[in-house]
Structure 1
Amino acid sequence: MSVILIHLSDIHFGQEKGTLFYVHEDVRERLLDDVAVFSAAIAPKRISGVMVTGDIAYSGTEEEYRQAGKWLDRLTIAIGCERSDVQVVPGNHDIDRGQISSAGAYLLKEVEEAGETKLNVFLRDENDRELLYKRFHAYSEFSEAYNCPLDKNGGGAGDRLIELAPGRHIRIVGLNTALACSKNDVEGKLLLGERQRVLPRTSGEELVVLAHHPLKWMADAAEAAQYVRSRARVLVTGHEHNPSARVEKVFEGADLLTIEAGATVPPWSDEDYTYTFNFIEFGWNEAEDALAVTIHPRCWSNERMEFEEDATRLDPDATSVVLASPRFREAPKPVAGEGFALAEADEAPVILQEASDGTIGMGDIPAEYSDIILRFFRDLTAAERLRLLVEVGAIPDNWDKPLSHGNERILFDRAIRDGKAHMMRNRLDELNKKDEDGGANG
């Protein structure tokens, strides 16, 4: 069994000035065409979702994410997967610099100069923590819709678990490398912090780490690299708009594949930088009990004015690899049984999604949960979300907390656990029909 995901990075919705709007719109349309052609060519396999390694927006505004959401909807339709099968992490352009107050700028400067010690001080104070994360307000709502919540205690950007075989999973872990981004970022001065650096280690799970910035941009790069090299099999980054792939042996029996993305939509296109993206296939190699990865890189053709195979930018020795995988080998080996044939690789895997606090497992939620959370957090205004929570009885009579974004998620999860998913879906359908009727009448 294998899973194919589309990998995008640096889409930069909202960067267009003048006639570039028409150029970039055309590039995004042609990407949809290319995806449809590729999907047909790989039948009976199926593309199961999308990964975006940051810089979805250009200025981190709500309007830019509205545009991104509409386009991602069209992309997932072209793929044939659910609209919610998208995983995102933030980049430096996903912060709204207009939300950096004088006090916020002071906090970020202190973090840059004093490092993790000062970051931990600010994270322990509720007001300071709110100032640090205010820059991510629009991104937070957008990412929550895709069940990729930012951990606002200095943690990561969500994770997903994908089964490749019984007892063999990849966990795709998102990092927030933009945590310490300000108005002028310097390589080597950003910070992950220990809450993100300490990657999980679970028998039978190999990690795929998504990050916008390459680790060299982090002040704690050395410490972060130790965890990534020892616990991850794949590191996928963006930011530098220069696609590459390389494999290194970390130690005997453990490999790391690093994929550095080009920009899906860079600010401009020339001989050095052009429009690029990847199809990445993950599978279980039974013979070696290892993670197999194949990259299908795509790039823009100035001659044909459409996407084509990128035959020059990536090292061919790193585009189809079997990675020595210690977490697989230490777990009991899968045995073919009812419902799973080791020889079959054409069935789409189930993508397991976890709530931000880990309280909702796949066995506890209805199948439509992912679509409901997408529509609730992305398609409704704050006032509409509040009204819906009240209407379904999700807010207790004794509730005395502010209705912050985090508390909205707690109340939403509680409503799902209490069996109100059907009620929420019906109300969302009513609101959607009302919007459609209003648009038609207008």
Structure 2
Amino acid sequence: MLLLHISDIHFRAPDCLNPNLDPDRYYRTRLLQDVRARVAELGAVGAILISGDIAFKGVSEEYQVALAWIHELAAMAQCPLERVFVVPGNHDVDRAVILRTPAVRNSQAAIARADHDRREREFRTQISDGDTSRSLLTPLAAYNDFAKLFNCQVYLPDHLYWQQDLDLGGGVILRVHGLTSTLLSGLEGRNDTRESLYLSPLQTVLDPLDDVVNLVLCHHPPDWFMDQDDVNDAICGRAAIHMFGHKHRLRTAVGEGYIRFSAGAVNPDRNEPGWIPGYNLVDVQVSGFGRERILTVDAHLRQWQSNPDLFRPVLTQQGESVLRHIIRFPGQERREAPTLALAAMPAAIATAEPVAPVEAAVASPAWERDADVGAAMGDASTRNLVFRFWNLTTSQRREITLRLKLISRDELSLPEPERYGRALIRAGERGQLNELVREVAQKETR
């Protein structure tokens, strides 16, 4: 599967609102053209992973322009919009909200100022309380309204981060963990500094299930967290692929069991030292069986150069344009190769259609037995349903979810991204996705 990893696009109002007066549009257009050329060479992109800083001030008009550009990017990448995934960055936080809202500052300060040995407990307390959890998310309101289209919105405490599953074939799932690194971003209206943020062990469980490859998508790299050592150890030990943004520097790092990418920035500030736009294309393949199974990661790192203006490959120390890293990925011993029925399992989860067992002696994969419903809803048909659902009017969404009892009347007061995010998860949990499809289709034809 070919993954397109971009970060730090920085759609900045008012500049981005008029394409004829947007000095950064040129570089974004060149990136689109380069993606189109690479896809002609490498094949269609299976998923687009955006590691934050989509906007610059975290306001709604910036996301309107961003969404239109993401549509263009998906078309060039030959990737369905249902396969776009996003996490927030510090520029997706509306700091003006923090400055004018004491409740936000108080909630952030309670976590930041807690003693080291009590911070996790204080974090749990703040995100579990209805009032303080809403305060922490107020600066992300515009981001959440944008991210809901991709089923990547944040709500607390039960959607602190998201998981989505992608099928790598051969009975193997790539589980993408979209981590939220920004709950303390903009503390007291200040710029973030290293070790000023907090991730918490709640986001780094990264359960090491058989037949699941964990991928972490996060805006801030570990050295920006108060709990950086714990975060780094957990991610390195539990995830094979790491994708970060924020630093505006295109870099890779490899270990025995992982590979780490920093995406650079689609649009770094043109006045910053070392200004070089960049992005990554990462091809992930699984081969072999049982104890001989390996994960092969081929990285195509693309970086801007001027005169002539184009994106070019970043070469390895050996002068090669592709960085290859092989990770051992042992699995359960099988008497034969996984069959097509196993590879088709993710769709079966979403549609609730029974799939005949391949063979009584072959255990079903752990990801199929234990997958979180939210992760299993990464199936393409289900994510297409999410897009269609959000394209309905507010009254239509409310009517459908109340009729199917996916929300209660008390929950009508919740912000829309949380209200209907919960409803969609419940539809998956209760086996009501087919009912929801029918209801949406009826509304679409009126």
**Which of the five TM-score ranges fits, normalised by the shorter chain?**
0.7 to 0.9
- The worse-fitting range, judged by mean Cα deviation, of 398-407 and 288-297 is 398-407
Equivalent residue, structure 2, for 1:62: 60
Structure 2 residue corresponding to 1:407, chosen from 390, 395, 419 = 419
In structure 1, how many angstroms separate the alpha carbons of the residues matched to 2:335 and 2:85? 27
Equivalent residue, structure 2, for 1:433: none
In structure 1, how many angstroms separate the alpha carbons of the residues matched to 2:445 and 2:312? 39
- Consecutive unaligned residues of structure 1, counting only runs of 5 or more, are 250-254, 342-346, 431-442
* Cα contact 2:164–2:375 (8 A) shared by 1: no
Structure 2 residue corresponding to 1:4, chosen from 2, 5, 11 = 2
- The worse-fitting range, judged by mean Cα deviation, of 30-39 and 366-375 is 366-375
Q: 1:215 to 1:247 in 2, by over 3 A?
A: same
In structure 1, how many angstroms separate the alpha carbons of the residues matched to 2:379 and 2:210? 28
Q: Structure 2: which amino acid aligns with 1:201?
A: P
* Cα contact 1:177–1:190 (8 A) shared by 2: yes
In structure 2, how many angstroms separate the alpha carbons of the residues matched to 1:135 and 1:113? 20
TM-score for both structures, normalised by structure 1: 0.81
Structure 1 residue corresponding to 2:197, chosen from 181, 190, 210 = 190
* Cα contact 1:76–1:82 (8 A) shared by 2: yes
Tell me by how many angstroms 1:317 deviates.
Answer: 10
In structure 2, how many angstroms separate the alpha carbons of the residues matched to 1:273 and 1:167? 42
In structure 2, how many angstroms separate the alpha carbons of the residues matched to 1:173 and 1:286? 25
Q: Once superposed, what is the RMSD of the aligned Cα atoms?
A: 3.5
Per-residue CA deviations over 1:185-212 (Å, capped at 9, x if unaligned) read: 1211210112112221211112111111
Are 1:23 and 2:23 counterparts?
yes
Q: 1:89 to 1:391 in 2, by over 3 A?
A: closer
Tell me by how many angstroms 1:169 deviates.
Answer: 2.4
Equivalent residue, structure 2, for 1:372: 385
Identity of aligned residues (%): 23
In structure 1, how many angstroms separate the alpha carbons of the residues matched to 2:105 and 2:318? 39
Find the residue that maps to 2:22 and give its secondary structure. Answer: helix
Q: Structure 2: which amino acid aligns with 1:215?
A: P
Are 1:126 and 2:130 counterparts?
yes
Equivalent residue, structure 2, for 1:35: 35
Q: How does 1:13-412 map to 2 (within 5 A)?
A: 13-14=11-12, 17=15, 21-42=21-42, 45-100=43-98, 101-114=101-114, 115-153=119-157, 156-182=160-186, 183-184=189-190, 185-249=192-256, 255-268=257-270, 272-286=274-288, 288-311=292-315, 319-325=323-329, 329-333=330-334, 335-336=336-337, 339=340, 358-359=372-373, 368-377=381-390, 379=391, 384-390=393-399, 394=403, 396=405, 399-404=409-414, 405=416, 406-412=418-424
* Cα contact 2:350–2:433 (8 A) shared by 1: no
Tell me by how many angstroms 1:108 deviates.
Answer: 1.2
Q: 1:169 to 1:370 in 2, by over 3 A?
A: closer
Give aligned pairs, total. 407
* Cα contact 1:295–1:320 (8 A) shared by 2: yes
* Cα contact 1:215–1:221 (8 A) shared by 2: yes
In structure 2, how many angstroms separate the alpha carbons of the residues matched to 1:353 and 1:73? 28
In structure 2, how many angstroms separate the alpha carbons of the residues matched to 1:277 and 1:82? 19
* Cα contact 1:169–1:205 (8 A) shared by 2: yes
In structure 1, how many angstroms separate the alpha carbons of the residues matched to 2:92 and 2:160? 15
In structure 2, how many angstroms separate the alpha carbons of the residues matched to 1:154 and 1:393? 21
- The worse-fitting range, judged by mean Cα deviation, of 296-305 and 212-221 is 296-305
Per-residue CA deviations over 1:253-304 (Å, capped at 9, x if unaligned) read: xx22111121111121677121111111101132841211111011122112
Q: 1:80 to 1:212 in 2, by over 3 A?
A: same
- Consecutive unaligned residues of structure 2, counting only runs of 5 or more, are 352-370
* Cα contact 2:218–2:243 (8 A) shared by 1: yes
Between Structure 1 and Structure 2, the one with more helix by share is 2
Q: 1:191 to 1:175 in 2, by over 3 A?
A: same
